[in-house]
Amino acid sequence: MLPHTISEIISGLRDKQFSSREITQDYLARIKRLNPELNCFITVTEDLALSQAEQADARLNAGQTSVLNGVPLAHKDVFCTEGVTTTCGSRMLEKFVPPYESTVTRKFIDAGAVTLGKTNMDEFAMGSSNENSYFGPVRNPWDTERAPGGSSGGSAAAVAAGLCAAATGTDTGGSIRQPAAFCGLTGLKPTYGRVSRLGMVAFASSLDQGGPFARTAEDAALLLNVMAGHDPMDSTSALNPTEDYTSALAQPLAGVTIGLPKEYFSNQLNAEVEKALQEAIKVYESLGASFKEVSLPHTELSVPAYYVIAPAECSTNLSRFDGVRYGHRCENPKDLEDLYQRSRSEGFGDEVKRRILIGTYALSAGYYDAYYRQAQKIRRLIKNDFVSALNEVDALLCPTTPDVAFRLGEKTSDPVQMYLEDIFTIPASLAGLPALGLPCGFKGGLPVGMQLIGNYFTEARLLNLGHQYQLNTDWHKRSPALGE
């Protein structure tokens, strides 16, 4: 039986209960057995993982320590990894082998972690269900007929199914928090700029943010300790100093005030999901926290504003993939125009094409002021709402998703309904705030997620709130059966 958490793996390695090679082999065997059904991984780096595990064992035997020495992890296939294919879930980058390492994955290598492989994702991180991958949909390990959430669904499903100890993901409008909710995990979207974006294939540059998937808030803190920090090679990287995110986990909650945004507890929220949230509120009250109703009046404008801003940025970011400079190139083009058209038509999937068209239209002459500029004004109003609310409270508690995981194919024919799945996660993304997702119950055998949103660079407080809740509940300890 594989250890449940990173903390348990670190203890087991230190106490010589198992070696890094042994536990890496166990994870690789589990990937071989379960990945054909779940489709979590696009690339499994078996030889690299075993080599890194042996090096970790050698360091351990020599008495050398590093934060995550010998811990097997997986990375979303949006992070460039030197010498390892990085597809971004797209035919456009199907054969792309980066000549360099992203800052995030480099930091994990330097911390001694083992790379098991690259996880499946919605193409170029565009999606809420992980059904938009060129490599096929990922299946939710709690119910393989349901979506794991997107776009980091491969990472979330891999952690939930026990195919890795933890994984990286990226969150543009909710792509860490929504899959964490659907798969019963703890997922953190840090403050925009807290984690370097260097080597992370861009979707929407003003929103994309890397973060960890783990089973517990304590594990997420261990991972953030490695991921966070200023990167001089990334102009959007924050200069704010980092801290030890594990040091505040044990802090008591007496005197903490948590806000409940009334717009998030609307009729869009499923009754059983709301009931689970009310039970979570009682747990926090028993720990000494108090609650206060707050208002975020521009919440309903967040989804339309996001689906102007994010496609506008994606239309410019993805213009480089033209078959000449980067990406898939069509066979035997008639002329240059044919080369551009067919390379992009063959390389991109339907959802990516839809967003490129929306974004190009929003940025075009005559429509920029009507759509893009208005969306940016709304973004400012949403940010101001959060600033005002978080002046009154230490953090906000709200749902992550309106309901639990939906069935594969259920929403693919209606993009608007799919986009509304992110209605509770997009506002914090537009404001650039940190937000922690964690499990708080079950509905019909499927995990229910809640979300804690904090002020800028208060990741330590959010992880403290998550850890204290998990010390007093067991939702995070449950695992899908998977025929075992």
Per-residue pLDDT tens for 224-252? 999 999 999 999 999 999 999 999 999 99
* pLDDT value for 188: 98
Neighbours of 341 (CB within 10 A): 16
Which letter, b or e, does each residue of 315-334 get, where b requires 16 or more Cβ atoms within 10 Å of its Cβ?
bbbbeebbbeeebbebeeee
- Mean of pLDDT over the chain: 96
Give the pairing of strands 114-119 and 290-294: unpaired
Whether 353 maps to a domain, the answer reads: no
- Which among 7, 19, 76, 302 is annotated as catalytic? 76
Q: Is the model's pLDDT at 413 over the cut of 90? A: no
End-to-end CA distance of the chain: 11
Q: Maximum distance among all alpha carbons in the chain? A: 71
Containing structural domain, residue 18? 6-254
Residue 4 pLDDT grade (very low, low, confident, very high; cuts 50, 70, 90): confident
pLDDT > 90 in the chain, percent: 93
* pLDDT value for 77: 98
Per-residue pLDDT, averaged over 252-273, amounts to: 94
Whether 452 maps to a domain, the answer reads: no
User: Can you tell me the distance from the alpha carbon of 131 to that of 37, in angstroms, rounded to the nearest whole number?
Assistant: 14
Q: Active site includes 16?
A: no
* pLDDT value for 1: 61
Q: Active site includes 151?
A: yes
Q: Is the model's pLDDT at 159 over the cut of 90? A: yes
Q: Answer whether 201's CB lies under 8 Å from 102's CB.
A: no
Whether 395 maps to a domain, the answer reads: no
The CA–CA distances, whole Å, from 257 to 278, 414, 435 equal: 16, 39, 16
- Which among 152, 175, 196, 315 is annotated as catalytic? 175
Domain count, the chain: 1
Q: Active site includes 76?
A: yes
Query: Which amino acid does the sequence have at 21?
Result: R
Q: Left if phi > 0, otherwise alpha if psi is -120 to 50, otherwise beta: which for 439?
A: beta
Give the pairing of strands 435-443 and 446-454: antiparallel
* pLDDT value for 152: 97
Q: Which residues contact 484 (CB under 8 A, 6 or more apart)?
A: none
User: Can you tell me the distance from the alpha carbon of 453 to that of 447, in angstroms, rounded to the nearest whole number?
Assistant: 20
Whether 371 maps to a domain, the answer reads: no
* pLDDT value for 484: 65
Whether 114 maps to a domain, the answer reads: yes
Give pLDDT tens digits for 282-317.
999 999 999 999 999 999 999 999 999 999 999 999
- Of 8, 74, 1, residue with least CA distance to 484: 1
* pLDDT value for 483: 66
- Which among 151, 155, 196, 302 is annotated as catalytic? 151
3-state SS track over 234-289: CCCCCCCCCCCCCCCCCCCCCCCEEEEEHHHCCCCCCHHHHHHHHHHHHHHHHCCC
Residue with tokens 């190139």: 329
Q: Answer whether 326's CB lies under 8 Å from 88's CB.
A: no
Whether 147 maps to a domain, the answer reads: yes
Per-residue pLDDT, averaged over 422-442, amounts to: 97
Per-residue pLDDT, averaged over 353-381, amounts to: 95
Whether 271 maps to a domain, the answer reads: no
Q: Quick one: 94 exposed, middle or buried, by C-beta within 10 A (0-12, 13-18, 19+)? A: middle
User: Can you tell me the distance from the alpha carbon of 214 to that of 187, in angstroms, rounded to the nearest whole number?
Assistant: 6
Per-residue pLDDT, averaged over 196-218, amounts to: 97
Residue 322 pLDDT grade (very low, low, confident, very high; cuts 50, 70, 90): very high
Show the beta-strand stretches assigned E in 39-135.
41-44, 72-76, 114-119
Residue 66 pLDDT grade (very low, low, confident, very high; cuts 50, 70, 90): confident
Per-residue pLDDT, averaged over 363-373, amounts to: 92
* pLDDT value for 417: 79
Q: Read off the CATH number of the domain in which 149 is found.
A: 3.90.1300.10
Query: Which amino acid does the sequence have at 225?
Result: N
What single-letter DSSP state applies at residue 114?
E
Q: Answer whether 465's CB lies under 8 Å from 395's CB.
A: yes
Whether 140 maps to a domain, the answer reads: yes
Rg (CA), the chain: 21
Q: Is the model's pLDDT at 331 over the cut of 90? A: yes
* pLDDT value for 354: 95
Per-residue pLDDT, averaged over 388-403, amounts to: 97
